[in-house]
Amino acid sequence: MKMERRRFLKGAGVAIALPMMESLMPKAKGAVNKKPVRRFVCLSNNYGVYQKTFFPDPKQTGENYDIPETLKPLEKHRKDFTTFSNLDHGFTGGHQGVPVLLSGVRPVLAHNYEEGNISLDQKLAEYHGAATRFSSMTLGVRERNLLSFTRTGVQVPNVSIQQAYRAMFFEDSAEKKISQAERFKRHNSILDVVMGQAKSLNKELGKQDQEKLEEYLGSVRSLEKKISQQEPWLKKPKPKTDVDEPKPGNGTEEQLKAMIEIIALALQTDSTRAITCASGFANGDFGLNGGYHGFSHHGERD
């Protein structure tokens, strides 16, 4: 079969031109199909869900269960997703549970663990390395994203809808690329000096201080790795899209839809393979009048 030189991803108002890819070309005899790329997306509603209308009846198994009211928009995809309930890593305390969702470790206790409180998305980001332009993407809608933490306990800041779109599709100027390349070189030079001095200092330290120094060196090595992963992407062109930059209004519904569109674009262009998105709401959203506290602590009342 003859393949077109350019193909397009289409759906939900999205059309993105694809670059030449081996998987779209005719297969040679004996060619082995590569495993499909796996991606991770965490959409966190920090105020929880109304369980009676979210989880299916546990007595119903298989594909023909009665889909609950909240999941009805996904009706036609029922064969493509699974709903899990009764999963718990033991941390309670209301809103204090949000930062431990993807790690199971409270930030204040991170020092007790070898990998700290690294979150699942950041663990995946380390694994995928330089395979994508962005090792991960941390997003937030009316809510600060408190889900993502590095292995050194640093909270990964979230980016806005506009920032994410521009990072994916706006090509930097030649001057900015040169400046960034020079910055990478300077950082590498500084890190080389720091590592050299630290190794010399290590001989003069006691065991406890050596452990602290090793934690610090781990952070330095992590930064070195990130720089080495980012450098090659300076020379690679960004993907093209005919989807305009989102300019959502002030409503949570508009902003959330725009952010979901951003997530779809990120996955379709393989810009990243690990995404987290936290969402909140404002008074008056969805026809509801009242504060978040009353809605999120309603005690499962009808």
Q: For 233-238, what is the mean pLDDT?
A: 82
Band (pLDDT 50/70/90 cuts) for residue 10 is very low
Distance CA 99, CA 119 (A): 9
103 and 210 share one domain: no
2 and 109 share one domain: yes
Nearest Cα neighbor of 223 from 194, 191, 196, 200 is 191
Band (pLDDT 50/70/90 cuts) for residue 49 is confident
Q: Decide if 91 is inside a domain.
A: no
Distance of CA 130 to the CA centre of its chain: 15
Q: Which of 98-112, 119-133, 141-155, 276-290 has the lowest mean pLDDT?
A: 276-290
- pLDDT tens for 19-33 read 444 444 444 444 455
Which residues is 86 bridged to in the sheet? none
Q: Decide if 79 is inside a domain.
A: no
Q: How are strands ordered across the β-sheet holding 137-141?
A: 40-45, 274-279, 137-141
Q: Decide if 204 is inside a domain.
A: yes
108 and 209 share one domain: no
Q: How many domains does the chain have?
A: 2
40 and 134 share one domain: yes
Structure tokens belonging to residue 226: 């990130």
181 and 41 share one domain: no
Q: Decide if 72 is inside a domain.
A: no
Structure tokens belonging to residue 225: 């790795």
Q: For 62-80, what is the mean pLDDT?
A: 91
Band (pLDDT 50/70/90 cuts) for residue 227 is low
- pLDDT at 23 (0 to 100): 47
Distance of CA 244 to the CA centre of its chain: 22
- pLDDT at 72 (0 to 100): 94
Final residue of a domain: which of 205, 230, 255? 230
- pLDDT at 92 (0 to 100): 64
214 and 261 share one domain: no
What is the residue range of 193's domain? 172-230
Band (pLDDT 50/70/90 cuts) for residue 232 is confident
Q: Decide if 192 is inside a domain.
A: yes
Q: What is the DSSP letter of 243?
A: S
Q: Exposed, middle or buried by CB within 10 Å (0-12, 13-18, 19+), for 25?
A: exposed
Q: Decide if 87 is inside a domain.
A: no
249 and 215 share one domain: no
Q: Decide if 86 is inside a domain.
A: no
183 and 297 share one domain: no
Name the residue with higher pLDDT: 187 or 7: 187
188 and 279 share one domain: no
Name the residue with higher pLDDT: 60 or 191: 60
Final residue of a domain: which of 209, 230, 251? 230
- pLDDT at 171 (0 to 100): 83
Cβ-proximal residues to 190 (8 Å cutoff; 6+ apart), any chain? none
Average predicted confidence (pLDDT) for the chain: 77
Band (pLDDT 50/70/90 cuts) for residue 208 is confident
Final residue of a domain: which of 189, 208, 230? 230
Asked if residue 9 has pLDDT above 60, the reply is: no
Q: Decide if 80 is inside a domain.
A: no
180 and 273 share one domain: no
Structure tokens belonging to residue 204: 């003069």
- pLDDT at 48 (0 to 100): 76
- pLDDT at 102 (0 to 100): 92
- pLDDT tens for 134-191 read 999 999 887 778 899 988 888 888 898 998 999 899 887 778 777 777 776 666 666 6
144 and 269 share one domain: yes
- pLDDT tens for 95-111 read 677 888 899 898 888 88
164 and 186 share one domain: no
Count of other CB atoms within 10 angstroms of residue 242 = 10
Name the residue with higher pLDDT: 232 or 15: 232
